Amino acid sequence: MEKFENIVILAAGRSTRFWPLKDKNLFIFCGESLIYYQFKKLSPYAERIIIIANQENAYFLRKLFASYSKVKIVIQKGEGQASALLSLANKIGGEVLLVNNIDIFNEKIILPQIIKERNNHQLILTAKEMKEYFPGGYLKLKKKQVVELIEKPGPEKRPSNMVRLVVDYIANFQDFINILKKVKNPMRDGAFEEGLNLYLKKTPSTFINYQNYWYFLKYPWHVLSLKHFFLSGIKKYTGKDVLIDKTAKIKGDVYLEDGVKIHEYSKIVGPCYIGKNTIVGNYCLVRESMIGDDCLIGGYSELTRSYLGNRVYLHRNYLGDCVVENNVLFGAEAVCANFRFDEKEIYSVVNGVIIGSQRNKLGVVIGSNVKIGVNASLMPGVKIAAGSMVMPNSLVLKDVKSEVGY
Amino acid sequence: MEKFENIVILAAGRSTRFWPLKDKNLFIFCGESLIYYQFKKLSPYAERIIIIANQENAYFLRKLFASYSKVKIVIQKGEGQASALLSLANKIGGEVLLVNNIDIFNEKIILPQIIKERNNHQLILTAKEMKEYFPGGYLKLKKKQVVELIEKPGPEKRPSNMVRLVVDYIANFQDFINILKKVKNPMRDGAFEEGLNLYLKKTPSTFINYQNYWYFLKYPWHVLSLKHFFLSGIKKYTGKDVLIDKTAKIKGDVYLEDGVKIHEYSKIVGPCYIGKNTIVGNYCLVRESMIGDDCLIGGYSELTRSYLGNRVYLHRNYLGDCVVENNVLFGAEAVCANFRFDEKEIYSVVNGVIIGSQRNKLGVVIGSNVKIGVNASLMPGVKIAAGSMVMPNSLVLKDVKSEVGY
Amino acid sequence: MEKFENIVILAAGRSTRFWPLKDKNLFIFCGESLIYYQFKKLSPYAERIIIIANQENAYFLRKLFASYSKVKIVIQKGEGQASALLSLANKIGGEVLLVNNIDIFNEKIILPQIIKERNNHQLILTAKEMKEYFPGGYLKLKKKQVVELIEKPGPEKRPSNMVRLVVDYIANFQDFINILKKVKNPMRDGAFEEGLNLYLKKTPSTFINYQNYWYFLKYPWHVLSLKHFFLSGIKKYTGKDVLIDKTAKIKGDVYLEDGVKIHEYSKIVGPCYIGKNTIVGNYCLVRESMIGDDCLIGGYSELTRSYLGNRVYLHRNYLGDCVVENNVLFGAEAVCANFRFDEKEIYSVVNGVIIGSQRNKLGVVIGSNVKIGVNASLMPGVKIAAGSMVMPNSLVLKDVKSEVGY
């Protein structure tokens, strides 16, 4: 297979919009962190992979890729995408394929096309046609050539329907870096795009018109879209030491890791992924959900279209369209409501701003190490800080913010 | 079969005591409105049926009986039973059998007796012997002749134990109308009875001593008595496209309309009626209940001796002895309590007056288009206005009144 | 078998620390009161059994032992253990084996040893070696001779590791009584121990070094230890007229008394004892629990490591590590939490003093004739007075005290 000299994966972004969940790059789907999933997809196309990390996740990334000599972890200096790339100045030469870890796309469609085009262009961007307005970067085109990238132009001023996703081919990376260095204040928002626009003015460029799937992990509810994506690829599988009571029902594609136990009268409706040594008790209903390792889905619990991390304990609960990170304990009969009575879009307050989730079914998002009291009622779209306790019998109408950060 | 020239069905009564439920005449039992049920019973005995409607239900009644040439809908002018009959002045002649739609009785016992007696008497009333005092109209008798009708005389002053139900035979209806016209203020309470008493003074009359069933639909909890009556006639039946999981248990007489689905591990104990396309999810217990069309009895729900209209959605709820009209949504784990801790009679406030329900098991009565929040607790005998929302985690101790009427 | 002339059972202690539960001596385990259980164990070793009762339980004890001529009930005068024994002055002579009804020990180990030693010593005490400090009475020893009994010396000042349990052999009871009479204010705390110490100074004594089980019933949560003890001796048994649905699962040693019914899809995991005519409804989970007679474990209930008296009614509840006396009704979806979020020892306030329960799993303790409202949440270690009502939807964070005592 033809390869790129360097694939650079951006994995240093601060996850403030992802609160109360932690590092997006290390978020686990089907037992594997997102960065590892991306690595597996991109590795066949790369002679070398450079992952740009931040101070916090670098330790974990180094550990994760310790045995892969092809992978190099570089810690980003400063904030933002321009800073990320400037961190690589003088470190790599030749060509670079730049991808953002939180964009999930079909590499088997995009990468062969870029490989085909790379001899003819110095710069190749990737974009997806969007008929509805999407708050991203739009390509201004002159025939197949990209003239300019315009960030969030508003619905009326779109230069085209082509929205960029971060899969950029740069034939001469040092050349690009030299342009990028000219941008003032590289840590500010839009600095990367300014550099790219300067580069576009002097460089023959084109773009790949990509029409397949594109997921991204920006807000915590995006975990549900990704969960859906990962589950759609699941096949029926039963690991070692799995016990399924003969009265339990397993329907559709259900992936059971080693040591899973499914007790009497429970029902699992695929697609589902259930992690190692997780126990599903009696009279449980699990549908279209992803469950981590060492969880206990206690008796009478119902889990619908939800994501649970590792060591999550349910007991007589209902969770619909929820995202729950690690080490979370639910008291008996606590309920997560997952739609508004007016059936409208569920919104959430992120960094003080109301953000529509583009979902009319969304439950609660819970960080790690949280305990939820018995009979608590959690309203749709509410987010619960890591380390919190929710009072028994309480009605949680808005986000619960921790005293202490993590 | 011998027939009556006219059967007049009173169906214009305002349903204020029936609040929060709507029109009693159009209330649905086993998939059929009460007025249609009465029509089917009385039709074989009638050459012509006149239904006295009000401004609101006339539209629906005309639609319902559009293809029955024998049926005529007349809109009542003014309020009360006397006004109802005066609305028919000059419209019909000959004999009339007068019945009230909200009285349910065994027509096969009463009507043949009236037919047998009608050549000998100008006026035949119907009464049931009541040993316990009942707040209705009592017959004052001279042998078999009715001398006077006395409304609610009080327990001590009963002229007999014979309580009138509205099944009156009037041989010469115009004659009776002429008397009734003499009563002043026909819209006031008691005007009809005054006219009847005037008529009794000048007319040879008798009464049918009726000793079979008698139900009436006055207060909303009477729906439960009627539900019980209708279910007692139910036979085991399974419609088309019904799916019953092999782990589900169906015991006793359960009537399943077309398209009903019963999922794993649920149990239905008859007598029960389940309407078209209703789904009973997993781990549900349904006993002695009547459920309308297109309902979803969501997982872990328990429904005991209750009435549900169409499009009612349960989810992990307990409802005992409840009446729920159409389009009602229950959040997960909401509970309807159905008896008092002191085990006393459950009362209800109707038009500002405390009314004993004569039941020590009674849940909640819910009008149409209501949403009940998760983990809500609704106390016995509480009534919820149509169009209301009940807060999650709330304790509802008294009636919820809508801002807007219907 | 060699016998003791008199076995004296102390059964007059006021049960204030046992609140909200009633008389400890009459508390029922596996269908039998504790005093009767002790009687059955000790009877083979006794020519005569004297039970020291109080004014309240004497009636019941006399009834219970009416047909046993060997048993004599004596009502205690005054308070405390010294008074208990002084109540016997001039009533019995010869040797006495003194036991406290609320101490449960292996009589087959202790009693034969005492019998072996009784010819050589005037006084034989019994003690168990405790490595961890225990707030009881410690033996000060000179070789095998007991020199002094020291009550609650504190961890640093223990004279030995031998803690006394009340199984005392006194060869000459009148002799001992004469000494005891010299103690001033026999009703005060420590009067018995003072008398015993006086007696030790003048009497050749020894002790039995006992290393088998020892349970006692002082605080209400001790019921759980005793329940555990009694269940550990349970064997699989199915009484007359027991009905077990073929979809129900019975695992391990489950003792089903006559008339028990287990309905569809329920699961009982032994060791369990279920009393006469108790009904277990649908979808119930019962584990390691003791349930009295005529209970109704209503649908969807879960009972774990708990004790229920007679006529307890559950409905869609979770009870973990709970003690519930007689005639208690739980509203639907009420939950008893059974551990703290910080996983620490659960404490309880007894007579105004915080007492550690030495358990990190403990639910609620409920006296007789209590009603718990729907959706109530009861926190770990809370105690509910007999005769109370708990509001629906309430959060019970501390003890509920009745207006009226019992």
**Distance between CA B87 and CA B288 in Å, rounded?**
41
**For residue B247, which residues of chain A lie inside 8 Å, CB to CB?**
247
The one-character DSSP state at C178 is H
**For residue C283, which residues of chain B lie inside 8 Å, CB to CB?**
265, 283, 300
Neighbours of chain C (3+ CB pairs under 8 A): A, B
The one-character DSSP state at B52 is E
- Return the residue in A265, A317, A372, A377 with the most chain C beta carbons within 10 A, the one to mutate for interface testing: A265
Question: What pLDDT score does B352 carry?
Answer: 85
**Distance between CA C371 and CA C381 in Å, rounded?**
18
Which residues have CB under 8 Å from A76's CB, separation 6+?
A12, A52, A53, A54, A83, A84, A87
Q: Which two tokens stand for residue C296?
A: 């109704």
CA distances from C237 to C250, C274, C307, C382 (A): 11, 10, 19, 34
**Distance between CA A87 and CA A70 in Å, rounded?**
19
- Looking at residue C301, its amino acid is S
Question: What pLDDT score does A320 carry?
Answer: 98
CB within 8 Å: C392 and B249: no
Question: What pLDDT score does B403 carry?
Answer: 44
- Asked if A326 and A292 count as a contact pair (C-beta separation under 8 A), the reply is yes
Question: What pLDDT score does A231 carry?
Answer: 98
- Asked if B308 and B293 count as a contact pair (C-beta separation under 8 A), the reply is no
- Asked if C385 and C402 count as a contact pair (C-beta separation under 8 A), the reply is yes
Instruction: Summarize pLDDT for A71-111 with one digit per residue, the tens.
Output: 999 999 988 899 999 999 888 889 999 999 999 999 999 99
**Distance between CA A60 and CA A63 in Å, rounded?**
5
For residue A156, count CB atoms less than 10 angstroms from its CB and return exposed for 0-12, middle for 13-18, buried for 19 or more. exposed
Average pLDDT over residues A24-48: 97
CA angle C74, C75, C79 (to 5 degrees): 130
Closest partner CB to C335 (pick from A265, A375, A391): A375
Question: What pLDDT score does B82 carry?
Answer: 92
**Distance between CA A265 and CA C101 in Å, rounded?**
45
**For residue C382, which residues of chain A lie inside 8 Å, CB to CB?**
none
Nearest-Cα residue of chain C relative to residue A282: C285
**Distance between CA C9 and CA C48 in Å, rounded?**
11
Instruction: Summarize pLDDT for A337-391 with one digit per residue, the tens.
Output: 999 888 899 999 888 899 999 999 999 999 999 999 999 999 999 999 999 999 9
Question: What pLDDT score does B204 carry?
Answer: 87
Enumerate the β-bridge partners of residue A104: A215
Question: What pLDDT score does C406 carry?
Answer: 37
Interface residues from chain A to C (CB-CB < 8 Å): 247, 264-265, 282-283, 299-300, 315-316, 329, 331-333, 371, 373-375, 389, 391-393
- Chain B: nearest CA to A351, how far in angstroms? 27
Question: What pLDDT score does C309 carry?
Answer: 98
Q: Which residue has the tokens 């080490």?
A: A327
Instruction: Summarize pLDDT for B204-243 with one digit per residue, the tens.
Output: 899 999 999 999 999 999 999 999 999 999 999 999 999 9
- Asked if B228 and B104 count as a contact pair (C-beta separation under 8 A), the reply is no
Ranges of chain B whose pLDDT falls below 50: 403-406
Q: How far is CA B19 from the centre of its chain?
A: 13
Instruction: Summarize pLDDT for A297-353 with one digit per residue, the tens.
Output: 999 999 999 999 999 999 999 999 999 999 999 999 999 999 988 889 999 988 889
CA distances from B118 to A175, B146, B168, B172, C50 (A): 111, 15, 11, 11, 87
Enumerate the β-bridge partners of residue A356: A347
Q: Which two tokens stand for residue A17?
A: 């919009």
What is the spatial order of strands in the sheet that C312-314 belongs to? C243-244, C261-262, C279-280, C296-297, C312-314, C328-330, C371-372, C389-390
**Distance between CA B44 and CA B39 in Å, rounded?**
9
CA angle A198, A201, A204 (to 5 degrees): 125
CB within 8 Å: A377 and B371: no
Question: What pLDDT score does A404 carry?
Answer: 40
- Return the residue in C377, C393, C398 with the most chain A beta carbons within 10 A, the one to mutate for interface testing: C377
- Asked if A314 and A299 count as a contact pair (C-beta separation under 8 A), the reply is no
Question: What pLDDT score does C338 carry?
Answer: 94
CA angle A373, A374, A376 (to 5 degrees): 75
- Asked if B242 and B259 count as a contact pair (C-beta separation under 8 A), the reply is yes
Which residues have CB under 8 Å from C148's CB, separation 6+?
C139, C140, C159, C197, C200
Question: What pLDDT score does B351 carry?
Answer: 85
- Chain C: nearest CA to A333, how far in angstroms? 7
Q: What is the pTM of this model?
A: 0.93
Q: For residue C14, how many other CB atoms are within 10 A of its CB?
A: 12
**For residue B283, which residues of chain C lie inside 8 Å, CB to CB?**
265, 283, 300
- Chain A: nearest CA to B392, how far in angstroms? 7
Which residues have CB under 8 Å from B277's CB, separation 6+?
B257, B258, B259, B260, B293, B294
From the list A316, A320, A312, A291, the residue with the least C-alpha distance to A375 is: A316
Ranges of chain C whose pLDDT falls below 70: 402-406
**For residue A391, which residues of chain C lie inside 8 Å, CB to CB?**
395
**Distance between CA A138 and CA A152 in Å, rounded?**
7
- Looking at residue A31, its amino acid is G
- Asked if C124 and C206 count as a contact pair (C-beta separation under 8 A), the reply is yes
CA atoms within 13 A on the CB side of A376: 24
pLDDT(A405) > 80: no
